[in-house]
Amino acid sequence: MIKTDPAASGAGVAERPDRHARTATPGTGLNGRPQTDRTVDILMVTHNRPTFAKRALARLLETCDDDMRVWLWLNGENDETLELARSFLDHPRVYRFHHSAENTGHRGLWRPLNWVLAEGSGAYVSKVDDDCLMPEGWADVLRKAHEDVPAFGVLGCWRFRPEDFRPTIARQKIVEFAGGHRLLRNCWVEGSGFLMKRACLETRARLRSGMGFSNYCLHLAAAGWVNGWYFPFLHQEHMHDPRSPFWLPLPDAGPSHGPKRTAAISPRGQQEHVQLIRARAFYAQRASLDCRRYLGWRMQLRRPRFAVARSLRRQRQRLRR
């Protein structure tokens, strides 16, 4: 049933015991929910990118089984994107639809996430970006891993390119768990293509105002949940990567994307965008598993260094123009 919500609120494997992993009774979740409950509430948020969104949503629905429900959140009032969203509302896997006339933006993604977390009832929660194409069988693999390892909190699909993987760097963080499941462990995963146990809510509740999903993952890791990307990777095609065969060389929705989007279509802009994506991939592979480094006062000490680095990068970019 569709409900329209007018006011929604090849590397080596390192084997080691996870001493800090959260424990749960085998066969049940922390709320006594049987592991045979395989329902998944999947959020997709779209804004002003009808070409990407059409392909991403159609692909997501192709990968859904009867236990998977798509919650569609539309930001803004772009007519083409609104018409596209409405064209999918009769699909049996589209469960809820919300139209926000105001674009919540990247910093406002906590709102649609909390909508699903508050009103959903599935054993698992997911989010797929409107520029990502999910691989066949992704949910089956991740659900099976969650069922076999109660300590798993958030498991992700990898959206970086094969050339962005560095086995020599990542090897020490690839860990094998019960059932032969392997993860590239990390304190956080990105906010697309993940599968999270709803039981995590009993540890951390919902996202605070302005909180990003990666930061939410950090708090879950601090509470003992094990996060990471399933390995070998389940690759989600990232269409907004200029190296993707689905990348759009022209702005998808005109001037509303602003100068950053326009700059990204120039050869130099494309190169800089790829460099940023690759830097994120490399950082994830070498990042510490000690989540305390990214929370509290330690993070406050690190922020000035990040700010200086960003400032230097921007100065170099201005000089090259």
CATH number at 108 reads 3.90.550.10
In a domain? residue 111: yes
Please choose, from the candidates 229, 206, 204, 215, the residue with its C-alpha nearest in 3D space to the C-alpha of residue 299: 215
Tokens 């089956």 — which residue?
A: 140
Q: What is the pLDDT of residue 8?
A: 43
Domain-located, residue 76: yes
Q: In this predicted model, what pLDDT tens digit does every residue of 277-317 receive, in sequence order?
A: 999 999 999 999 998 888 864 554 444 344 445 555 655 66
pLDDT of residue 190: 94
Could you tell me the two tokens for 163? 């050339």
| pLDDT for residue 319 | 56
In a domain, 38, yes or no: yes
Six-digit token pair at 170?
């990542």
Q: Residue 43 in contact with residue 127, Cβ under 8 Å?
A: yes
Residue ranges, the chain, pLDDT below 50:
1-33, 252-263, 297, 300-308
Say what the pLDDT of residue 309 is: 53
Residue 91 domain boundaries: 3-9+29-237
Position 78 in a domain: yes
Domains: count for the chain = 1
Q: Beta partners for 98?
A: 73
The CA angle 216-164-195, to the nearest 5 degrees, is 35
- Is the residue at 290 inside a domain? no
pLDDT of amino acid 104: 78
CA dist 131 and 133 (Å) reads: 7
Q: Check if the beta carbon of residue 282 is closer than 8 Å to that of residue 169.
A: yes
Q: What is the pLDDT of residue 257?
A: 44
